[in-house]
Each structure stands twice: as C-alpha cells, then as structure tokens.
Amino acid sequence: MRVSNSDGSVDLAKVDGAWQLPGGVPASEFKVDSVLEGFADAPGSWPVANTASTRERFEVTEDNHQRHVVVESGGDVLADIYLGTSPGHRKTHARRAGEDEIYAIGFSNYEAGVKAADWIDRSLLRPKGDVTALRRLPGDPVPTPAEPDPQSDDDPADEEAPAEGVAGFELSKGEEGGWVSADGTELDQGKTSTFAGRFTGLSVTGVSQATLPESATMTFAIADDDGEHTLTVFALEDGEKFVAVSDRVPGAYELSKYIAEQMNKPL
C-alpha cells in the first residue's frame, strides 16, 4: 500500500504476514487493517457528483488531491483512490482513478498519513510478555547545565556541570514475584515496579535518521518471555532528544525526553 500527497509518501508492505515500513520497521497492524477495512466498508451510495469542475473543487483529481491511496496484491491493483475534501464529520470525498464519479465515504484523511511516524508500531520496543530480569550497564551521563558563578563573567549556558554516570544494577523477579537486587540491596518494590513499567509500557514517538554518538547514555539487558534482548538509548543535542535501538528490531527510534530521563534515574 502506498499513501501519498504533495507533502510526501509512505509505502507499507506485508512481509511474512506482518505489515512493515521501509527498512523492515514494524507498522501498526491495527492501524493498517483499520484503514483497509475502512475502504472495504465504505458505503456504496450514489455518487454525489461526476463533473470535472466538482472533481477539482472536491480535490480528487490526479494533480490536486489530499490523499492518493494505492493498494496492490501480487502485482494486481486492488484499489486506486483519490481522497479530497470533507463534506462532514468523518466523511471524505473519494474518486476511483480512471472514473468520473465522486462519492462521500465514511473516512477521515488524517487516518491515512504520509509519514512513517503515522504508521509505526509505537510499541515495537516493548518486551514480549513479562519482564523477569532487568540489568543496566553503566553509561555516560546526560550533560546538565552548570550552576551560574557570580564571580565569573562567562555565560553559564556555555558550560556543562560535571556529572557521574548512573551506576549499573541487576534486578530479577523473586519466587514470590517481588523484585530482587543481585547485590542484595533492599528495594522499594513500588518504585522498582514503576521503573520496570517504563519498559513494559515504552512507546516510541517516531523513526530517527540521526547519526548516533559513539557512546550510549544507557544500555539495558532485559529478560522476557522470548529470552534476553538489549535496549540502548542515546542522548542527542545535549540531552534534549533521545533515540533508542534494540537488537530485536531494525532501525532507530525517537523517545520522549521525559520517559528517557525517567529511565536514566538510579533506583
């Protein structure tokens, strides 16, 4: 499936039964299926118009449209549709390529975005099933602004305060279901469960094309129902942006600054 307009385009393909974006990035199965079902379930009402002037006015021409959606299977084109203006709530004007008739179908154009971030499976970095162990490797700290020195004429914004990286730790689920530290440190179960929840509920905000630093800010080894995997997080732009990579999923993904900072706190 390809979705495009004057702002760009995005391609999705079904590989081994799963929808993917270019580069093997997992797409949201629910979203893709919902969009396809939306077209399949669109009411076959009488056309609302069929003239050249209304095609232009409703923005469903080859040169002037809000969305162009092409669905293929095995080399056959199953759907080739131009989407345009909205005649009402959750409705849009639609025209099949090569036909004159324009229909008002039950669909919203925002559902068919033209960016990869519109289709990505935001849960793709989450563990599979229950987390049974969580290990953090020591990493580089996120730079923090230096405190102003009243005796100095230098701009404190140009300096960074020295900071120590968060120490590594190793946690596992005990026989009674509580969290246990490998070094015997007594843990606050509520705080530790909240920390682990940062991973089980982790959502990415988009695909990153940024060049990653040589040193990671934090690296975690996470054991779940499918075994152990590694999640590595990098700070960009002096800690204003964060990108995560996993050895289970191809690509690099943006994280919200707040979530990344919560993951970077000591227990």
Condensed to tens digits (0 to 9), the pLDDT of residues 197-246 reads 999 999 999 999 999 999 999 999 999 999 999 999 999 987 899 999 99
Condensed to tens digits (0 to 9), the pLDDT of residues 171-202 reads 999 988 899 999 999 999 999 999 999 999 99
Instruction: State residue 119's pLDDT score.
Output: 96
Q: Would you state the structure tokens that stand for residue 13, as one six-digit string? A: 């393909």
Instruction: State residue 221's pLDDT score.
Output: 97
Instruction: State residue 254's pLDDT score.
Output: 96
Instruction: State residue 149's pLDDT score.
Output: 53
Query: What is the full DSSP assignment across 160-202?
Result: EE--PPPPPEEEEE-TTS-EEETT-----HHHHHHHHHHHHT-
Residues lower than pLDDT 70 in the chain = 43-44, 139-166
Distance CA 230, CA 219 (A): 7
Q: Would you state the structure tokens that stand for residue 133, as one six-digit string? A: 């162990």
Instruction: State residue 176's pLDDT score.
Output: 85
Query: What is the full DSSP assignment across 52-70?
Result: HHHHHHTTBSSSSBSEEEE
Instruction: State residue 14's pLDDT score.
Output: 95
Distance CA 149, CA 144 (A): 15
- Give this prediction's pTM: 0.78
Instruction: State residue 141's pLDDT score.
Output: 54
